[in-house]
Amino acid sequence: MKNRIAEIEAQLREAQDQNENLGYQVRERHTEIETVKNRYQELEKSSTANMMDLQRENEKRKRAEIEESVKMAASQFQVDRQGLENQIRQLQQKNQDYQQDLFILSQELEKMSKLNIELKNEIDNLRVKNANAEKRVQMEVDQIKVQLEIQYRGERVIYI
């Protein structure tokens, strides 16, 4: 039995040594876990900080791109606006020129209309004068015919 007790005591010591060894390993693993955990937290903080830095840089870049786009759009808008304003001024000038031409043409048309009326009246007067002159001429011709006929009859009577 002594052997058995010695054997059990040896096994117990061996188990205690193993237990101490396992305890030591557990503590070491626990320390490693804590170290890894701390390192992970540091990496996570660093990653979060890096991520935030990247987001800020990305936001700055996007803001700069947007500002550049806005500047370009504003510049293009100014160019387009100036072009349209020039076209408007040109069209307004053409409109004024056309209105002036229209005014001049309407005055010319009015003059031509008056002249046409005057010429028509003059033609009508000349027709009336011509008709009167033709009547006078016809009357004179008729009188000359009558006188010639009378003279002709009178000469015939003398010679008979």
- Across the chain, mean pLDDT equals 90
The pLDDT, as a whole number, for residue 155 is 65
The pLDDT, as a whole number, for residue 135 is 95
Side chain identity at residue 105, one-letter code: L
Q: What dihedral do alpha carbons 116, 117, 122, 126 form, nearest 10°?
A: 90
The pLDDT, as a whole number, for residue 110 is 95
Does residue 62 lie within any of the structural domains? yes
Does residue 130 lie within any of the structural domains? no
The pLDDT, as a whole number, for residue 159 is 52
Does residue 129 lie within any of the structural domains? no
Q: What's the total number of domains in the chain?
A: 1
Does residue 134 lie within any of the structural domains? no
The pLDDT, as a whole number, for residue 7 is 83
DSSP annotation of 56 reads: H
Residue-range definition of the domain harbouring residue 21:
1-121
Supply the DSSP string of 104-150, one letter for each residue. HHHHHHHHHHHHHHHHHHHHHHHHHHHHHHHHHHHHHHHHHHHHHHH
Does residue 99 lie within any of the structural domains? yes
Tens-binned pLDDT, residue by residue, of the chain (160 aa) = 777 788 888 888 888 888 888 888 888 888 989 999 999 898 889 888 899 999 999 999 999 999 999 999 999 999 999 999 999 999 999 999 999 999 999 999 999 999 999 999 999 999 999 999 999 999 999 999 888 888 877 765 555 4
The pLDDT, as a whole number, for residue 23 is 84
- Ramachandran assignment for 130, one of left (phi > 0), alpha (psi -120 to 50 degrees), beta (any other): alpha
Does residue 77 lie within any of the structural domains? yes
